[in-house]
Structure 1
């Protein structure tokens, strides 16, 4: 491998694009360069690194061991340069036309995004804001690449190493239709276990937090219906005797969709605070700092508990 002072640093952006986009053509589209320009840059990279970097396997190209070993340092270097340039510029929300991307899983979008948008529109009319769905396992990488500026999600193993501040602490509640034959303002564990349940999850299978809580009691429930999103599950509850376990803030957001009753969960589940997440490389970016402060101010709240909506209005 050549010494760093003999490598054209402009090539590192091409290397990262080929690696991330999974091919020369896709990297060209991403960088708005011709395929021949990307191919020429790859040839120079192979000479610089004295390695093939990417090899063809069937219809795809895959990175070599050396490419895999250097991609993270290259990304850190590129993002460091980008953030250094961004930090040198003053961010003025009143005049900025910057585009921000906040990672939000579907259910959390309903909890916080509208309020964030309302304040961004007022404070920064030229800024564009996108809510972007993401796979939890990919959030750290997407923040590192700059595909996301911030993310809002619960803490997990994959968020270790990210910067985080708490936004909301929520409790799990149970939703049932008003007029449910066995539920009126409260539910006990026996009734909960005897009921048929609807579960909302984008995953094809797997337990929810409530199942983990029941497992600690050596109990299980019957999930009769599985929906991809919480809105569908809420409507299933409104039109059946199935019940749904969900976060209190989700339930409060969904009441205008259907006026289901909300009652306390009849067993304990440790709360999982919703967090605002960002990559350490964005720590000093003035625009990111501004957006973090705005989100923290307008998406934070105290613990959410069932309220007067829990009663059966008949």
Structure 2
């Protein structure tokens, strides 16, 4: 085991930059250091750890097994140290120029991000706010390495390294074109099944929550159109006699653009809960604590 007094924190920061940015040049640019300085630091680390850490393959530096083994603990430790130092000071939203990166799935950005961005920028006009998509299998890593500060998603199995807070549940509503002669002001299950449906999902395959509930009863709706975004589905419904089932938050946004007939879903479904996720390493970061409080407030209001 290496004695901590021999370790230079700057060397760990340089290792972390090389690993996360993918090379010496990118690390030098990220840290505002010269490439020779980065290379010198890497040579010292290699000698200290008795391992090459990165091996050149063509134009890429590929991490060794040792580098991969220590990369996440080093990154997490550095983030926790930065968060602790930030937490020892203060965060002034009115003056901050920080960038906050919020992970939001494509299906939820339209309904959630506008209200959130409006509230954040009202209190912190100089910050930068980024909405970014993510793969669920990469969520822990993205929160650990700082690619995301927080993430909003459905109920997921989480590790001890992640914290989460519930954002609540919302019902599904059914939209139909105003003037659709096949609906006489009400929508029962028989009529719901008799009409064709548009299904909005970024997934190329798989059923929706409503399809799962129908299948349990031995029933099935006909999905005539499958598209990637709720806006597209809404436009299709506006020009056809098809139906579209969407979360209430989506419907509220789209109803202002193109009014529809709205109905309660005529079948009981398992309510989908959403959660706010973040990494334990940034628990003490007062800036992120401020951001989390705003997200919780806005999402629960919605």
TM-score range, shorter chain: 0.7 to 0.9
Structure 1 pair 79–193 and aligned structure 2 pair: CA distance change class (3 A): same
The alpha carbon displacement at 1:216 in A equals: 2.7
Structure 1 counterpart SS, 2:266: coil
Alpha-carbon separation, structure 2, partners of 1:271 and 1:115: 22
Alpha-carbon separation, structure 2, partners of 1:167 and 1:3: 44
Residues 1-314 of structure 1 correspond to what in structure 2 (within 5 A)?
A: 2-57=2-57, 60-158=60-158, 161-301=161-301
Alpha-carbon separation, structure 2, partners of 1:255 and 1:133: 25
The alpha carbon displacement at 1:2 in A equals: 4.1
Tell whether the 8 Å contact from 2:72 to 2:145 is kept in structure 1 after alignment. Answer: no
Alpha-carbon separation, structure 1, partners of 2:193 and 2:33: 59
Structure 1 pair 16–207 and aligned structure 2 pair: CA distance change class (3 A): farther
Alpha-carbon separation, structure 1, partners of 2:224 and 2:70: 48
User: Per-residue displacement from partner, 1:224-263 (whole Å, max 9, x unpaired)?
Assistant: 3222221111111111222222101111111122212221
Alpha-carbon separation, structure 2, partners of 1:25 and 1:220: 56
Q: Structure 1 stretch 3-12 or stretch 215-224: which is displaced more?
A: 215-224
Alpha-carbon separation, structure 2, partners of 1:154 and 1:52: 41
Q: Structure 1 stretch 78-87 or stretch 98-107: which is displaced more?
A: 98-107
The alpha carbon displacement at 1:154 in A equals: 1.8
Q: Structure 1 stretch 118-127 or stretch 73-82: which is displaced more?
A: 118-127
Structure 1 pair 45–214 and aligned structure 2 pair: CA distance change class (3 A): farther
Alpha-carbon separation, structure 2, partners of 1:194 and 1:59: 59
Q: Structure 1 stretch 97-106 or stretch 238-247: which is displaced more?
A: 97-106
The alpha carbon displacement at 1:35 in A equals: 4.0
Tell whether the 8 Å contact from 2:105 to 2:134 is kept in structure 1 after alignment. Answer: yes
Structure 1 pair 37–236 and aligned structure 2 pair: CA distance change class (3 A): farther
In structure 1, the gaps of 5 or more residues are: 303-314
User: Per-residue displacement from partner, 1:198-235 (whole Å, max 9, x unpaired)?
Assistant: 22222333333233333333444333322222111111
Question: How many equivalent pairs are there?
Answer: 302
CA RMSD between the two structures: 2.6
Provide the TM-score with structure 2 as the length reference.
0.87
Structure 2 counterpart SS, 1:157: coil
Tell whether the 8 Å contact from 1:235 to 1:257 is kept in structure 2 after alignment. Answer: no
Q: Structure 1 stretch 65-74 or stretch 30-39: which is displaced more?
A: 30-39
Alpha-carbon separation, structure 2, partners of 1:39 and 1:222: 61
Structure 1 pair 92–258 and aligned structure 2 pair: CA distance change class (3 A): same
